[in-house]
Each structure stands twice: as structure tokens, then as C-alpha cells.
Structure 1
Amino acid sequence: MLPSPQAHLADAVLTVDLDAVAANWRYLRDLGRAAGRPVDCAAVLKADAYGLGAAPVAQRLFAEGCRHFFVAHADEGVAVRAVVPDAWICVLNGLPTGADADYVELGLVPALNDLGQVSTWRSAAQRYVQPLDAVVHLDTGMNRLGLTVDEAALLANDRMRLRGLRLALLMSHLVSAEKPADPINREQLDRFRTFVSRMPGAPASVANSSGIFLGGDFHFDLMRPGAALYGINPTPGATNPMRQVASLRARILQVRQIDAMTGVGYNHDWRSARPSRIAVIAVGYADGYLRALGNRGEVMIDNHLARVVGRVSMDLITVDVTDLPETVVRPGAFAELIGAHQTPDQVAEKAHTNGYEILTSLGARYHRAYIGAAS
């Protein structure tokens, strides 16, 4: 990652409200505890905490009381371990060939995605003469990672395959949790319950961000929110219950006056229908402002909305500011691309994607400012 410039030199600033992340985590945790059961709440930090910075997010959430963290890759786990040494960290992508010694030494817990990984991790426990935490991942319908139904049956019928391991968690992942009426949710729940019943004594987890809102049946012992922590709406079609976390502002570099029927940007994908003013703003697809937002995206300049015109280029976008007051559109002023006026979900709708991609695409060139960092 490139070094972050001093704030006064930055052409674009990504602000992350860690107070909002913490408030979102507490809100989700309390939803799980609403029925009076001892449900715990983890945090998913994969993809650098969905693009917002795994280290500061992990530190703040650990200070809030979060003790369970999930990452996708082992190197993500190493980075989290460096800032929260006492956390429990699970690597969702599992146990790579030849990596068992590293996982033991780094204190990482693999999600065991097939019986081969179960055997390898058991051998590591025997070799190191210590019980090792194990997470058994059951595929209940996603058809990605996880034990098949047949493998799960073999494991349930032969618990000796886990000898030497401490069964820390049984988990699965929901296919369609953001659509409560989809019957696959209940089908997966039933399959998971059957497996859990055959593995007595082990904590269980199936609820992702949207899964938490499917109700208490899905909460089990540990909930695993990711996107909701960072302000993405876990209940599409309804009011977002989460606090907004990220805001992105970029500097206006130049304001140009152009004639009618003048092309702007690569290939002149947009032409002015009238004499126009164009603001050139310091953000582009190299910063994660997606090319799909060309001729679709919008920015907010001093409470005035302006449309992106022409193609998004590597470092720049162009915005039609003809109808905005000249006093607010000037070189050096900032435009808001993500924030209170335009959430990641709303930006995603214009780009024909989802809020996950908007956040995880955010690039390394921004100056990053954190509100409420753990002391």
C-alpha cells in the first residue's frame, strides 16, 4: 500500500467513522441477545475490513468487547494478529497445503472445508502435542467451500476424526439471507440444525449480516456480521438500520467552460447540449471509483448535486456543474462521492453492483482519516 499523504496534500480523503462501526457491532450484538440467550457477535474483517482498514477496525472492536474475528486469507489473519494479539482469528479459506505449522505458530484457526483438512489439522495437533481449535464448515447449499453432506455424515459417524482437536465452532453460510422469503433460508437452517444435533456440545454459527435479521432461529451461538458493520444495508428494500461509516471526498482540480456540442473525456462519450461548466475532480478507477459510474454517477458539492459526465478515467472524473453556483465550484473545493448524501448502497445502484464492491474497491491512494480510533 502506498504511504498516505499529509492531509493538506491529499486530493482525496476517505474518512472512516470507527465510532459508527462500534455502534453497529453493539446494535447487532444486542439483537442476538434480545431473546435472553448468550449469543456472541463476531466481526468479519476480510478484504481489509471491506476496504476500510482491518487494523484500526479490529483494534476498536476488540476494545468494545469483540473477541472473535474472521478473515479470508492467512495473511489477513497475520495482520489482525499483529494489532489484537489476544483475539481468536479464523481463516475462512481454510488450511492451505503445507501451512499447518504456520497456523499453529501464528495462532490462526482454519475453517476446515473438507475431510482432508480435518485430517491434516488433527495431525498437526498430534505433532505439536496440544489441542488445536477447529472450525468445521458445512456446505448447506452455497456449493462453494465446506464439507459436503456426505462428508458431514462421515464426520458425525466417526468423531475420532476430530481426536486431539477442540471443536470450537460448527458453521455454514447462507445463500440468500437478504431475501427473507426465499425458501432456501429455511432449507439451509434445517440442514444445519440436523448436523449440529449430531455434533453435540459444539458452538454453532450460520448468521451473516442479513442472517441476523432473519430472527433468533438463525442466531445460534455466534453471529458473523461483515458488511453491516461498515454501513451496508443488511435489509435491502427496508430502511437501513446501520449507521453510515465511510465518507469519501475528492478535490476539484479545475473548472472548464465549454461550448455546446463539445465532447468531454475519452472517446467523447458525452457531449454538452448547451454551453457548460465542467469540474475536473481528482478520483478515478485507480482509486476504486468504478468505470461503470461514467455518465451515471453523482457527486455532492456544498449540498448541490452534480452528475458525472463522460468516462471515468484512471485518475479523474468530470462533472457537469453548469447549474451550480460559481461560488461553490472552485479549484481546491471538495466534492463528496460517498457520505451522508450518497451511501455506498446508493452509489452501487448507479453502478449496477452492490455496496460490498463499492467499499472493497476503495483504493490505496486516499488519505485515510479515522474517527474514534482505539487508544
Structure 2
Amino acid sequence: MQYSHSKLIINLKNIKNNLNIIKKFSKNTICPVIKANAYGLGDVEIAKFLIKNKCKDFWVANISEALKINKNISNINIYVANGLNKNEEKIFFQNKFIPVLNTYEQFQKWTNYLIQKKLPNKLVIQVDTGMCRSGMQHEDILKVYNERSIIRKFKEVIILTHLASADEKKSQYNVVQKNRFLKIQSMFNYPNCKFSLAASGGIFLGKDYHFDMVRPGIALYGGKLFFNKQLKNVVSLVSPIIQINRLKKGETAGYNQSYKAKRNIVTATIPLGYADGVKIKISNIGYVFYKDIKLPMIGRISMDLMIVDVTKVKNKIKIGDHLEVFGKNLNLDGFARVSQTSPYDIITSVSERCERVYLN
């Protein structure tokens, strides 16, 4: 089957490199983000690898993701970012998941539940310092502060927030959010309270942003390499040639005749399309690589297929050869730029029918 479907190749050695770079920057707790199937790389496989590299705290988005991890891995801390929603207390408690409390109502429900169970162990509260997406806003923070006697009952309380512009090192909004968070830190200056501000971008803004826990995601997986020159690309997307055709001058390729040959050319078809995460907007703009030779995508990207002009290598190429869509020659960031989107969008959109292959 290796000649009939595309592959997302994941270099575990480079993930380890990126993890070690983050460890050099922050000596505090590292809580890798493995939500969205570890950004498309495979959450269980990536979590197991990170556990081997001494990680024990992990961040997911919702309870379904937490249950999948918990089914395959035990004895780790799983933080659920989207919080405690209706009638979920029992499932969180039974599985020892840690909900990130984003509203005062969630705080009330969960603390009451844990105190009734006589297990006030770990509590995690998200505060909004300017993202206006999730987390307690000012009024809710004051309500929690007024119930600080409850806070003191827990062995550990983590208070966190999320930066809105961490990938813009010169953005003053980072400073604004950090200063707002420092005020909240001063309110909850108790021995059992810890604090977390930085995800991937925030880690590289400096130690002032690290606090007690950092939450790396895209930097681990080889995106936004401009954060630090020692970070390495992790993923490569390759696809095999399943057909070779000849297109005469004046003939068209693909839907709606968006490409018209200006000369006689040789084309190759690969089984990769917008259902696999390659955006339609890259049609007639993008390119792939045969070894290190750049070859243009032609015609409109189909759901399952893509056409490539392989005239440059027509005497070398054959059915079964693999073409690189991104990886060694064009990293994830570069492919995202060509696709006019973000590396997050690209990597999380790679479909499940692309086989995950783990190297090293």
C-alpha cells in the first residue's frame, strides 16, 4: 500500500531536539500540548514519546481527547482546556482529569464536588488577560478571590492565562498581558499557588514570561521556527506518483480548465487533495519536490488528487516515486506561507488517510 497513499513522516529525533531547546529556556514544568491529535501527528504516539523524555503533564482541548489518551496511557496529568461543562463532574473525577476552570460557575461546581469527596488536590483556573476567548474575566476573578479560603484548601492551584500575540516579539500587547497577570499573581500570592503564562511563543519572549509552567505546542512539532534558530522541522508530507500523462500545448488540466499548457509537458498525478489538508487556494501556485527539484502544481486541487508538471524530470521519474509536498526542501512554515495560512492550519488538516510514519 505504500504506493497508493500519502504519508506524513514525523521525525521524533527533531521533536526531542525541540523539547531540549525549550528545556534550556525554561527550567520549570513543561506541559506539552497534545490537543487536536497532537496537532495531527498522533496524540498517543507523541505522548508516549514525550513520556520517555520525562514529561508527565499534558494539555488537551476537550474530554474526548482526554479519554482517548487515558485509554492508552496511565499515570500522567491531563489538563482539559475547555473546562468543566454540564454534568461532567463524575467523568472528570473518575478519570482523574484536571478541568481548566474558565468561569466562576465552573469553579463553584468543581470545588464543591471535590470538597464533598474530601479530595481537594489540584485546581486549575484560567484568567482572561486580553484574549477574550476563554478564562475568567475581572468580575469572576474577584469572586474567586473573595473565596480564597477555598483556594487555600487545595494542595496545588495553577492559575494561567494565554497570550494573544506571542508570535510577535515586539508586540506591546505581550507586556500588557504580562503586567495584568502579575497583578493577578499578587492577589493569589499563596504557597500553594503556581502560575502559567507562556505557550510556544511566550517561552521565547524571555524568563519573565515563564512563571512556573510553560505549555509548548507548535514549537515542539516544527512550526514557527523563527521562535529560535535551533528549532528543527519535524514533519514531511510525501505522496507517490500513481499516473503519468502527457499534455499537449493548448490542452487543459483539472477542473474548470484553470490550467492551460503553453507547451507540450509531462504531468504526474498524486493521491493528495483538499480532503487531505492541501488548500484549494494553492492551485496553480504551489509546488512539490522530486528530490531537490522544484515542480509546479498545475490545475485545480481536487478532493483526492493533485496534478504536477514533471517535465523537468520526465526522463528520471516513474510511477511509485514519491514527491515531497513539504519537509526537507520546504518546511511547514514555508508551505503555510505559500498556502496563505498558518502552520497550525496545515498540520492539523492533514487527513487520517495519510499514514503517520515515525522516524528515529
Aligned residues: 358
Residue type of the alignment partner of 2:212: D
Aligned mates of 1:328, 1:336 — CA distance in 2: 16
The offset of 1:274, in angstroms, is 1.1
Aligned mates of 1:164, 1:198 — CA distance in 2: 16
Q: Any stretches of 5+ residues in structure 2 without a counterpart?
A: none
Give the aligned partner of residue 225 of structure 1.
216
Aligned mates of 1:242, 1:82 — CA distance in 2: 31
Q: Any stretches of 5+ residues in structure 1 without a counterpart?
A: 1-5, 34-38
Counterpart of 2:220 in 1: which secondary structure?
helix
Give the aligned partner of residue 24 of structure 1.
18
The offset of 1:160, in angstroms, is 3.0
Give the aligned partner of residue 97 of structure 2.
108
Give the aligned partner of residue 40 of structure 1.
29
Contact preservation (8 Å) 1:119, 1:161: no
Contact preservation (8 Å) 1:209, 1:234: no
Normalising by structure 1, report the TM-score: 0.92
For residues 362 and 215 of structure 1, do their structure 2 counterparts lie closer, same or farther at Cα, with a shift above 3 Å needed? same
Give the aligned partner of residue 237 of structure 2.
248
Contact preservation (8 Å) 2:225, 2:232: no
For residue 160 of structure 2, the aligned residue among 171, 177, 191 is: 171
CA-to-aligned-CA distance 1:185-225 (integer Å, 9 cap, x gap): 00100010110111123111111101011100001011111
Matches within 5 A, 1:193-212: 193-200=182-189, 201=191, 202-212=193-203
For residue 55 of structure 2, the aligned residue among 46, 55, 66 is: 66
215-224 vs 324-333, which moves further: 324-333
Aligned mates of 1:278, 1:204 — CA distance in 2: 55
Contact preservation (8 Å) 2:198, 2:214: yes
For residue 328 of structure 2, the aligned residue among 340, 344, 350 is: 340
CA-to-aligned-CA distance 1:239-294 (integer Å, 9 cap, x gap): 64311111111011111111112111000111111111111111111111221221
**Residue 350 (structure 1) aligned with residue 338 (structure 2):** yes
CA-to-aligned-CA distance 1:111-161 (integer Å, 9 cap, x gap): 100100000101210332212421110000000000002211222233134
**Residue 314 (structure 1) aligned with residue 323 (structure 2):** no
Aligned mates of 1:32, 1:99 — CA distance in 2: 34
Contact preservation (8 Å) 1:29, 1:40: no
Counterpart of 1:169 in 2: which secondary structure?
strand
Counterpart of 1:300 in 2: which secondary structure?
strand
Contact preservation (8 Å) 1:302, 1:328: no
Aligned mates of 1:327, 1:104 — CA distance in 2: 63
The offset of 1:163, in angstroms, is 6.3
Normalising by structure 2, report the TM-score: 0.96
Contact preservation (8 Å) 1:118, 1:161: no
Aligned mates of 2:26, 2:115 — CA distance in 1: 36
Aligned mates of 2:186, 2:105 — CA distance in 1: 23
**Residue 93 (structure 1) aligned with residue 82 (structure 2):** yes
After superposition, the CA RMSD in angstroms is: 1.5
Counterpart of 2:337 in 1: which secondary structure?
helix
